[in-house]
Amino acid sequence: MFHQLLILFVSSTLVSSNSVQTRVMPDMATMNFQFITPCAKYSIPILSSKDLYKIKAFDENKQTVILVTGWRTTVDSSQTIDELSKAYNCRGDVNFIAIDVASCVDTLFTWSALNTEKLGEYLGKGIADLAQVVPLESIHLIGHSLGAHICGSAGRSFTTLTDEKLPRITGLDPAKPCFNEGEDLTGLMRGDADFVDIIHTNPGVLGRRDPTGDVDFYPDGIIPLPTGCYTILCAHERAWRYYVESVYPGNENNFMAKRCNSMTKLKQNRCGKTPAAPMGYATSSNLRGNYFLEVRGSSPFGMDGNKTREEQYVWCGTDLANKC
Ligand SMILES: *[C@@H]1O[C@H](CO)[C@@H](O)[C@H](O)[C@H]1NC(C)=O
């Protein structure tokens, strides 16, 4: 297991270096919206997004959450999709859609800034079509790792096409590799949606360190390995694990954070008077600045997490599946 992780890291380093210059465009035709209910998965080509509407289980009165995963070498996208879809389906008030970018990006030798922009443009077009059949304010884009930058590009392309902004993009440890090699890529930035919230869990290594959102959360501070992690992949995953935890009913305030500029100040209670605010699902769109919080090393990760409630999640997933 450990060797496997090491090899994965080495290959991600290689791909992000200038030694690989392949310019292969992603195969957009293989990109699908995967609408996931507790009982079924439906695949719809991105540019036919209006067809989601024809699926009986798709409810245009619910919020629509679209998750864009990262790239397989640094992200187990299927696990991210499984866990986040389960959490949202336990809430029951959303249409959960995933885009497994890995399935088309993996056919490349590399992903580049150019590919990221292209994938985002394509997604932006699909969302613009979708916004004709569901209310714009109900759409929430979430991206992990490379997926966060694809979301940023999708937001910009959506605005070019419609003259409107997506309401919210959440970046889960937006990827650092590939974007510091002289390639000109903005990546996910404040302004790509009305509200951009970012959770950094492997800052400076696989994830970007700098705050680029309207609000940036630094669980455990600006350190590469949060409590409980001994590998960078573990740290890079924590962003979605924290987010998933916050989605379960009752957990909205598991991760209370303070506007602050260091962990030291947080621990000394010297962060100033801005009220504490939740990281994750319940983050309010009027938050601005950098927020710090402590976390636990194992689930429930939130300092205000509750073991009993955590056991109920497992029950929720099983229960939903049994009802199918
Ligand atoms: C933990 O969650 C359970 C189930 O929601 C609840 O009954 C219990 O009161 C909670 N415990 C604490 C200490 O908040």
pLDDT digits (tens, 9 = 90+) for 278-301: 999 999 999 999 999 999 999 999
Task: Give the pLDDT confidence score for residue 12 in this predicted structure.
Answer: 38
Mutate to test the pocket of ligand 1, among 308, 310, 314, 315 (most ligand atoms within 8 A of CB): 308
Is the CB–ligand 1 distance for residue 298 below 6 Å? Answer: no
Query: What is the CA(88)–ligand 1 centre distance, in A?
Result: 21
Strand intervals (E) in the chain = 32-36, 41-45, 63-68, 94-99, 139-144, 168-172, 195-199, 215-219, 256-259, 277-278, 289-293
Residue 314 lies in a domain: yes
State the first-to-last Cα distance of the chain, in angstroms, to the nearest integer.
35
* Ligand 1 nearest atom to the CA of residue 307, by list position: 1
pTM metric for this prediction: 0.89
Handedness of CA 18, 22, 25, 26 (dihedral sign): negative
Strands 215-219, 256-259: pairing kind:
unpaired
CA of 268 to the centre of ligand 1 (A): 29
Residuewise pLDDT in 10s, the chain (324 residues): 333 333 333 333 333 444 444 456 666 777 889 999 999 999 998 888 889 989 999 999 999 999 998 766 556 778 899 999 999 999 999 999 998 776 666 554 355 667 788 889 999 999 999 999 999 999 999 999 889 999 999 999 999 999 999 999 999 999 886 554 555 667 899 999 999 999 999 999 989 999 999 999 999 999 999 999 999 999 999 999 999 999 999 999 999 999 999 999 999 999 999 999 999 999 999 999 999 999 999 999 999 999 998 888 878 877 888 888
**pLDDT for the residue 239:** 97
- Is there a domain that residue 13 lies in? no
Unique residue bearing structure tokens 């187990």: 76
- 308 CB near ligand 1 (under 6 Å): yes
Q: Is 281 within a domain?
A: yes
pLDDT on residue 14 = 35
Q: Which residues are catalytic?
A: 145, 173, 236
Task: Please report whether residue 20 resides in a domain.
Answer: no
Query: How far is ligand 1, taken at its centre, from the CA of residue 50, in Å?
Result: 42
- Rounded-to-integer distance, Cα 136 and Cα 162, Å: 11
For residue 75, the model assigns a pLDDT of 63
The predicted structure's pLDDT at residue 7: 33
Give me the pLDDT at residue 4, please: 37
In a domain, 34, yes or no: yes
DSSP 183: -
307 C-beta closer than 6 A to ligand 1 = no
pLDDT at position 98 is 94
Q: Is residue 15 part of a domain?
A: no
CB 180 near ligand 1, within 6 Å: no
Q: Cα-atom radius of gyration of the chain, to the nearest Å?
A: 19
Q: What is the CATH number of the domain that holds 290?
A: 3.40.50.1820
pLDDT digits (tens, 9 = 90+) for 152-171: 999 999 999 999 999 999 99
Which residues constitute the domain of residue 207?
2-7+27-322
* Ligand 1 proximity of 284 Cβ (cutoff 6 Å): no
Q: Is the CB of 79 under 6 A from ligand 1?
A: no
- What pLDDT is attached to residue 178? 57
For residue 244, the CA-to-ligand 1 centroid distance in Å is 19
Helices (H), 113-194: 113-130, 146-162
Please indicate, yes or no, if residue 22 is contained in any of the structural domains: no
Say if 21 falls within a structural domain. no
Predicted local confidence at residue 316, as pLDDT = 86
Ligand 1 pocket residue status of 296, Cβ below 6 Å: no
When divided into structural domains, the chain yields a total of: 1
Question: From the CA of 168, how far away is ligand 1's center (Å)?
Answer: 31
